[in-house]
A and B are shown apart, each in its own frame.
Chain A
Amino acid sequence: MSGKLFPVEEIGSLPKAPWLLNYLRNADVGPSGFEHLSKWSKISGFENESETRAILAKPKEAAKQARLRELASIFTIRYLESAGLDYVYDGEENRIEMYEHPVRNSGGFEFYGHVRSFDSRYYRKAACVSKVAFRQAYHLDEFLLVKQHAKRQVKVPITGPYTIAEWSFNEYYQKRRAADYNDLRKLKFEAKRDFVMDVAKQIIQPNLKALVDAGAEWIQVDEPALTTKPDEVPFFVDAYNECTAGIPCKLSVHICFSDYQLLYPHILGLKNCSQLALEFANRDDSKRSAYDQLNLLNEFGDKREVGLGVADVHVDDIESPELIKNRIEYASKILGDPARIYVNPDCGLRTRSWDVAYAKLTNIVKGAELARHSIS
């Protein structure tokens, strides 16, 4: 646990810098892109504004693109640091997104096209067509850059094995079990277990090892899909234990927009997990009833730290420091031990504007400070 009460941690991805996106898309960075760079450089103390501006001002060059990506990471680290966070990363500025990035950088997957998320919004979904395989430590360069430049402590987010499997089609592992074809339900269920376990062993474990060997002290395993199929929560527990066994760093799990009751008692079986980072704020009300779900931890004797989601990432309303403080105090009373609480937004703020995300983050920091004074 940290020595400071209610340390504030980053939790996931931030919006991509508009000037980076435009440059990568061969689009005009435009006045608004330069204004964005200038504004947030001033606020955050970003030390490479001139270099960034010089790259953006010239036609796109392959050699400069890699450097611009690095600069975007540093830019975002400073943004988080200036907001006052205690644990930072780079907002995942250079990941495609949390699913496609690991899958494109691992073996065994093939993309066939888009599938619908909702309305007219689609995402690319991969099929696992052969045994999954480690191809490269796909967060290593990113981590080394963050480690080199961050002035605060670092937490590395990595997409977990269950979510990768759940968000993919499972061809290979189901085909391998073709003998079970007479009971399709059982076939699919068992093939999924094989798939999740292999992602853990073949992909996640070597990635965790590479990060730890490079000096990572805290890695957060992201599992937003974990309760999608309640019967399969035990798959995750086994897979997580498999890939984190012997990994000598702090490990935590981030779960969001889920029914946490479905996690218990299975999740008590996680052996190398010191924190559960959970989302609450989006479903909260004036009675703080969302946070009553923390009673589950008490009920099951779960003594781990909690990453407490105190800001809704899907609305532009800015939670006041007093509201944040109130949420922290309420959670502290339920858990009975304020030292177990870290504070964070519900999830990544990638769907908010830079202004809104910053206002939320700074108020989280202020609210944590108020709670710290109130409780200590």
Chain B
Amino acid sequence: MVEVHLTGVFPRSEKLIAATRAAVRGNLPKAEVDSVLKHDIDVLVQLQRDSRLDSFVDGQINWQDLFRPFSQLLSGIDPGSLTRWFDNNSFYRKPIIVEKVTLESNDFQQYFRSDLLGKGSHKKAILPGPFTFAHLSENRAYSSLPDLISDLGRALGAIVAALQERGYEYFQFNEPSICAPGRTKAELEITKHAYEACAHGISGKSIIQTYFGDASQVIETLLDYPVDAIGIDFYATSIDSLKEYDFNKVLGCGCVDGRNSLLESPKELTTFVSRVRESLEPVDIHLTPNCDLDFLPEAVAEKKVRLLGETKMLVA
């Protein structure tokens, strides 16, 4: 049996898109947008239940991008200008680090909707990883990037602790930048320490999710980090390039493409998972999308979740 999990932002429904657009134009009260938003999360939770997923996410449906909530939850961060999100036709607001980063707010409820995930479910929280957070920010406050990575690790650790109290068990740290060229040894070393700070107290599962880049360039380092699982985007990394490493962790097998509407066949995915298992011999496999499903229209993303569930049954 493999576990199946979602790994990122889930797209908004057409109804919610229309509602948020109307709200931006001042034509719809916030309460009505919130009502549609809650409905979207309810539908997503039911979808995950129907598809027998092993953890439930809220889809981060009200997040504007991976970093925006943290300009409210953490001190010292302002949202900056629109910047291309890797090699996508989508954009995020570059965080501007204006002063020392620390936990500022305990208002987690608006961004981590554990209240909507259902009693008894295994709740999963998704956060930016400290390396990516630092690399994709404009640093105006710290004398070095490693110092910023270190403080972000501590601040994220404080959030993780608070979320554990709210019942979260799975914690995924998104690290797309860690696969990109330009990383330094000092940054990778301090990032390991940052994970000791932010993942140390996790009693459930901790996951570093890599995507949009070739993980083979950094996998040796990541396998030494204090986390339980490493997620790999197999649309950016070949199986063969990972063969030489002893995969001593759970492998997040990102083989459902969040950036293409083509629906994968559960049968082919099953073959692919078998190949990964035979070639890399990881501790275990989590079957996942390779990235957020937010690059797809909601109707397509829903189908992708359902086929993840179908594949789980086939693999079993």
Q: Which residues of A contact B (CB under 8 A)?
A: 112-120, 122, 125, 127, 166-167, 169-171, 174-175, 178, 181-186, 188, 225, 228-229
Contact = CB atoms under 8 A, between A and B. Distances in A.
A89 B202 CA distance: 61
**Most chain B CB inside 10 Å of its own CB: which residue of A175, A178, A181, A228:** A181
Interface of B: 11-12, 14, 17, 20-21, 23-24, 64-65, 82, 84, 87-93, 234-240, 255, 257, 260-262, 268, 271-272, 275, 294-300
B237 A118 contact: no
B17 A184 contact: no
Contacts of A120: 17, 20-21, 23-24, 64
Contacts of B235: 184-185, 188
A119 B87 CA distance: 17
11 contacts: A114-B14, A116-B90, A118-B82, A118-B90, A120-B17, A120-B24, A125-B297, A170-B262, A174-B262, A181-B271, A182-B272
Contacts of B271: 181
A182 B268 CA distance: 9
A182 B64 contact: no
A175 B260 CA distance: 11
A110 to B, nearest CB: 9
Contact of A118 (B21, B23, B91): B91
A219 B88 CA distance: 27
Contact of A185 (B90, B238, B262): B238
Nearest to A174: B262
Contacts of B236: 185
**Most chain B CB inside 10 Å of its own CB: which residue of A112, A116, A225:** A116
Given A115-B296, A182-B275, A169 B261 contact: yes
**Most chain B CB inside 10 Å of its own CB: which residue of A112, A166, A228, A229:** A112
A175 B262 contact: yes
Contacts of A113: 14, 297-300
Contacts of A125: 297
Contact of A167 (B14, B89, B262, B272): B89
A182 B270 CA distance: 11
Contacts of A178: 268
A186 B238 contact: yes
B278 to A, nearest CB: 12
A122 B261 contact: no
Contacts of B17: 114, 120, 122
A229 B300 contact: no
A241 to B, nearest CB: 24
A277 B241 CA distance: 40
Contacts of A184: 234-235, 238, 255, 257, 272
A112 B272 contact: no
B30 to A, nearest CB: 13
Nearest to A169: B261
B12 to A, nearest CB: 8
A120 B82 CA distance: 13
Contact of A229 (B20, B87, B90, B268): B87
Given A113-B300, A114-B14, A118-B65, A185 B21 contact: no
Contact of B92 (A118, A127, A167, A171): A118
